[in-house]
């Protein structure tokens, strides 16, 4: 009985690790910014060399961040304002944000934010894309 429980535990652990590895591989890191304190705006340049994407996700680490507005500029010059108004705690992430249209080349991503936290750590924002 103990052996079968041990084997089941090992199988479940291997399945979990392989699923996590697969999930991480389908998201590509498009850029990282260590944000300033106060109200500010930053731009992450992506470009044609990185390819086309259908979805985005934002991850915040290190400190808190209040996201106000995100604008994605595509390779053809069109822009898309994304609904990601959110008060991020450190270690949090957004839901998956679908981009309009089919796979799109992203030129850059501009985001407006403020940091209203009392910690001495600056937040780091990472943007991931899915093809």
Q: What is the pLDDT of residues 57-85, one digit of tens each?
A: 999 998 888 888 999 999 888 999 987 77
DSSP character string of 72-98: EEETTS-EEEE---EEEPTTEEPPPEE
* Max Cα-Cα span within the chain: 64
Q: Does 7 map to a domain?
A: no
Whole-prediction pTM: 0.73
Q: Does 20 map to a domain?
A: no
Q: Does 88 map to a domain?
A: yes
* Mean residue pLDDT across the chain: 80
CA dist list (Å): 45 to 42, 62, 94: 10, 22, 20
Q: Does 4 map to a domain?
A: no
Q: Does 15 map to a domain?
A: no
How many Å separate Cα 69 from the centre of its chain? 15
Q: Does 113 map to a domain?
A: yes
Indicate the pairing of strand 38-45 with strand 97-98.
Answer: unpaired
Q: Does 125 map to a domain?
A: yes
Total of domains in the chain: 1
- Residue 107, domain extent: 28-130
Element (H, E) at 22: helix 2-25
CATH number of the domain bearing residue 42:
2.60.120
């Amino acid at each position: 009985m103990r052996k079968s429980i041990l084997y089941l535990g090992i199988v479940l652990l291997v399945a979990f690790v392989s699923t996590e590895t697969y999930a991480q591989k389908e998201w590509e890191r498009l850029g990282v910014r260590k944000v300033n304190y106060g109200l500010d705006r930053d731009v992450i340049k992506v470009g044609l060399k990185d390819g086309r994407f259908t979805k985005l996700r934002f991850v915040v680490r290190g400190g808190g961040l209040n996201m106000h507005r995100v604008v994605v500029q595509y390779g053809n010059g069109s822009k898309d304002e994304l609904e990601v108004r959110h008060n991020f705690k450190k270690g949090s992430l957004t839901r998956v944000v679908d981009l309009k249209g089919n796979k799109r080349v992203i030129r850059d991503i501009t985001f407006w934010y403020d940091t209203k936290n009392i910690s001495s750590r600056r937040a780091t924002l990472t943007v991931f894309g899915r093809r």
